């Protein structure tokens, strides 16, 4: 199978994507100053993916973006991880899910640690939105993608803008 790839600039730096001839995403590199897209894209043929590029650039510019329209094909994943990723892709922009809830949605309510492992090994962060998975107590949990927990917090905060001020404030007398 031939893999293609490209890197493109976002407001946070360069992101990169790998995909196959069917435009199924096989890997994604979040923008981060600590990662090198040229290493990530080694052994791929250069080809643009303008629809995804536009969506990712828009996302990091603060636009509400739905990545579920893009097909994914995470390589070398177990059947359980595939179930976890499929369930996670149903979590919409602005929503979060706990590791425990995701284990239940994946058909194995006791597999909370395995869900954490699936998140840590997610080859397609953002498109498979592992940043939306949080702990039952509301804590962020980990984030092994480039940028770490700080990037996870930024992405969650970006998807949860503060509520507008209440218009029904009582006027002082």
Tokens representing 81? 């991880």
CA distance readout (Å), 104 to 14, 67, 109, 112, 121: 35, 23, 4, 9, 19
User: Could you give the residue numbers annotated as active site?
Assistant: 130
pLDDT for 173 equals: 45
For residue 4, give every residue at least 6 positions away whose Cβ sits within 8 Å of its Cβ, in sequence order, or none: 18, 19, 20, 21, 44, 45, 46, 47, 49
Q: pLDDT-based confidence at 171, cuts 50/70/90?
A: very low
pLDDT digits (tens, 9 = 90+) for 41-60: 888 889 999 999 999 999 99
- pLDDT (tens digit, 9 = 90+) per residue, 3-32? 999 999 999 989 999 999 999 999 999 987
In this predicted structure, the answer to whether residue 39 has a pLDDT above a threshold of 80 is no
């Amino acid at each position: 199978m031939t893999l293609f790839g490209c890197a493109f600039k976002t407001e946070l730096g360069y992101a990169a994507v790998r995909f196959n001839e069917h435009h199924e995403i096989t890997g994604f590199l979040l923008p981060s100053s600590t990662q090198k897209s040229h290493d990530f894209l080694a052994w791929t043929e250069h080809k643009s993916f303008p629809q995804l590029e536009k969506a990712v650039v828009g996302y990091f510019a603060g636009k509400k973006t739905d990545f579920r329209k893009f097909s994914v094909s995470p390589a070398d994943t177990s059947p359980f991880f595939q179930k976890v990723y499929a369930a996670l892709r149903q979590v919409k922009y602005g929503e979060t899910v706990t590791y425990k809830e995701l284990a239940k949605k994946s058909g194995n309510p006791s597999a909370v640690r395995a869900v954490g492992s699936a998140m840590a090994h997610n080859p397609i962060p953002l498109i498979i939105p592992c940043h939306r998975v949080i702990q039952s107590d509301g804590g962020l949990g980990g984030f092994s993608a480039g940028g770490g927990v700080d990037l996870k917090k930024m992405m969650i905060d970006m998807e949860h803008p503060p509520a507008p001020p209440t218009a029904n404030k009582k006027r002082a007398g």
